Amino acid sequence: MKAAKNTSLSLPSPSRWGISTDLAGRPLVRGVLTIESISDNLVLGTANFRGIPIPISGFWDENMKRIDFDTPYATFSGHLKIFDDASIRIRHLLLSGRFLMKPPSLQAGESGNWIASSNVPLTGPAMNTGDLPPVGAFLTSDLLLNNPF
């Protein structure tokens, strides 16, 4: 499905996300994921894990709520979940999935989990009010709010 405008997508752009990764259950790296644009399902942005933004490019599938993107060091895939909190008029957005490290990374061939979160104002009625977001959403929100990147 091709979207004519980014506003029709459930994944906002531009947007900033706190991101956390783990390898073998141990925290690997945390930082800020920036989705600069989504055009014809192509995602462009940056990932900033150590103070230097690195480019990302990938694909967004609106129907499946699935994202796939690459950095020079890893390939990421994941899905979007949305949690609305009508009491504070916030929509919590949560991306999570798996990643695979690739050369030239020293951990090439190893895989792990990632989680990223962002918030946007809830402008209409709450639609996704089921469970609360997992605790990782609050950790990554903290990263985003307290990170100078």
Residue 107 amino acid letter: Q
pLDDT category at 8 given cuts 50, 70, 90 is low
Tens of pLDDT, residues 118-149? 988 888 888 876 666 555 555 555 555 555 54
In this prediction, residue 4 carries a pLDDT of 36
pLDDT at 15: 95
Structure tokens at 143: 């990263």
Q: Which pLDDT score, from 0 to 100, does residue 85 have?
A: 83
At 26-84, the pLDDT tens digits run 887 889 999 999 999 999 999 998 889 999 999 999 999 999 999 999 999 999 998 88
Predicted confidence at residue 2, as pLDDT, reads 38
Between 91 and 149, the more confident residue is 91
Task: Give the pLDDT confidence score for residue 142 in this predicted structure.
Answer: 56
What is the DSSP secondary-structure string of 44-62? EEEEESSSS-EEEEEEEET
| Residue 93 · residue 118 · CB < 8 Å | yes
Are 36 and 132 within 8 A, CB to CB? no
Distance CA 63, CA 146 (A): 33
95-105: average pLDDT: 94
What class is the 6-143 domain? mainly beta
Q: Alpha helices of the chain — where are they, by DSSP H?
A: 135-146
First to last CA, the chain: 33
User: Domain limits of the chain?
Assistant: 6-143
Nearest-5° Cα angle at 141, 101 to 71: 25
Taking alpha carbons only, the member of 102, 114, 107 closest to residue 140 is 114
